[in-house]
Chains A and B, each alone.
Chain A
Amino acid sequence: MIRIEHLSKIYQTKTQVDALKDISLHVQPGDIYGIIGMSGAGKSTLLRCISFLEQPTSGSIFLDGTDMSSVSPRQLQEIRKEMGVIFQGYNLLMQKTIRKNIAFPLELNKTPKADIDKRVDELLRIVGLSDKADFYPAQLSGGQRQRVAIARALATNPKVLLCDEPTSALDPLTTRSILELLRDINRNLGVTIIVITHELGVVRSLCQKVAVIDQGSIVEQGLTAQVMDAPQNDITKLLISTAGGR
């Protein structure tokens, strides 16, 4: 599904910052893949590279076998439909209704109006917000806003859903319901999910596979159960011990 090979990202400011160093990852179709690390480990940079918000300095990202560094900006706009992104801060359009927010990617794709309405109704049902269609984001709670963001990200039927700290601004109960929703989406719609997080609980309860990232490098990766039971790296051990015995 997504294969990352020897990806590096260097920020050239006054000093050279190696944000990502030789990252290689392979996400299979249907995976829920967790990428965990402390603040500043390079998680967000990695997500920004996977979502093409930033160009990697070297290395390649393959989406369904296509090398993303070789596509034209026009093709990129097409490929972006294959990938939905949700963010910690939801990033909804505050002046538009929930319906309009979810319809936004469809409007960008010039989907016919009747099809948009049908698809939005369907998405509102999936995320359980059918009664909120004509509300504005300011009238919703954080958890509900994230549901809207998820519905919007799913609008174009993407194969992959990228989640950047999707629950970091939410309370534990709301976090659980969002994680359940993501799990349902993965199971029922067959969407591959990549979750970037600093919360071990998210990885434990959601992800089958995990990669631990520290100082721009992947220090450990594998099946979540194996990594949790027998952590090899000090950073992994530290993440597990600070997360407590959940």
Chain B
Amino acid sequence: MGVLQENLSMFLEGTVETLYMTGMSTILAYVFGLPLGILVIITRQDGLSPHPKLNAVLDWIVNIGRSIPFLILMVALMPFTRLVAGKAIGPNAAIVSLVIGAIPFVARMVEGSLEEIDHGVIEAAQTMGASNREIITKVYLPESLPSLVRGLSITTITLIGYSAMGGAVGAGGLGDIAIRYGYHRYEYDVMIVTIILLILIVQIIQNIFNTLAKKIDKRIINQ
């Protein structure tokens, strides 16, 4: 493992950059994606506040966002990225396109989680005089929390993959190292180390979130 020792600081920096990009973009993607997902659910025909036309538009936007491959989205967004982040390369620039790429993804995940809530529970809350806002904050979100956490896990892992892809256009992070050394310089041992690091990161994140989701889910009876 000489390669690891020689390039320790580089790997360390790459890992930190990857975690930074993934963490920041996950948070920002939820800031926008969570309300969007909620909006999609409540504007449905059978939702709390039916607005079929708005729902169709939102659904369309989410679908468009989901159908553009991330690598292409990143390139297409470069002028916009330059406007927001000041430059088109580097971790901060990558976060801009990661967030935009992940918002529709998050919206769909949130929609799926909220969809699991039994309509009867919503109606029970309505018969108790709960307003739509109260139904969202006191029924939909707390009741679907374990599922939302599982979705968060999937989103984070997807964003790790996206951020590695960002390496192709100079985003930094582990993906950047893998492409520069593995692809351009044929230093396969460096690439293998980055792959192992990515696998480890994904495993750890998945374990943390899944354990958390299981722990908070009160439908599972822990003896």
Residues of A within 8 A of B (CB): 51-53, 76-78, 80-81, 83-85, 87, 89, 91-96, 104-105, 107-109, 136-139, 152, 156
Contact = CB atoms under 8 A, between A and B. Distances in A.
B126 interface: yes
Contacts, number: 69
A93 B127 contact: no
Contact of A108 (B118, B129, B217, B221): B129
21 contacts: A80-B127, A80-B129, A87-B124, A92-B121, A93-B143, A94-B143, A94-B218, A95-B146, A95-B216, A95-B217, A95-B219, A104-B128, A105-B128, A105-B129, A107-B138, A108-B125, A108-B138, A136-B219, A138-B219, A138-B220, A152-B128
A208 to B, nearest CB: 24
A136 B218 contact: yes
B115 interface: no
Given A108-B134, A109-B129, A85 B220 contact: no
A80 B130 CA distance: 10
Contacts of A105: 128-129
Nearest to B124: A91
Given A81-B129, A104-B128, A108-B134, A96 B121 contact: no
B129 A53 contact: no
Contacts of A85: 124, 127
Contacts of B71: none
Given A91-B124, A138-B221, A156-B128, 4 more contacts: A77-B131, A89-B118, A94-B218, A108-B130
A105 B134 CA distance: 11
A138 B129 contact: no
Q: Which DSSP category, helix, strand, loop or mixed, fits chain B's interface?
A: helix
A139 B121 CA distance: 18
B123 A53 contact: yes
The listed residue with most A CB atoms (<10 A of its CB), out of B131, B145, B216, B218, is: B218
Contacts of A108: 125, 128-130, 134, 138
B142 A89 contact: no
Interface in B105-145: 118, 120-121, 123-131, 134, 138-139, 142-143, 145
Contacts of B216: 95
Which range contains the number of B residues in contact with the other chain? 20 to 34
Contacts of B128: 80, 104-105, 108, 152, 156
Pick the 3 closest A-B CB pairs, nearest first: A91-B124, A80-B129, A77-B129
Given A53-B123, A53-B126, A104 B131 contact: no
Contacts of B118: 89, 91
A106 B129 CA distance: 10
A80 B124 CA distance: 11
A84 B129 CA distance: 10
A87 B138 contact: no
Nearest to A97: B218
A132 B181 CA distance: 61
Contacts of A80: 127-129
B218 A95 contact: yes
A133 to B, nearest CB: 14
Interface in B204-223: 216-221
Contacts of A92: 121
A132 B15 CA distance: 48
A108 B177 CA distance: 54
A70 B139 CA distance: 29
Given A96-B142, A138-B220, A138-B221, A91 B120 contact: yes
Contacts of B143: 93-95
Interface string B180-223: 00000000000000000000000000000000000011111100
Contact of A78 (B125, B129, B139, B221): B129
Contacts of B120: 87, 89, 91
A201 B217 CA distance: 38
A109 B131 CA distance: 11
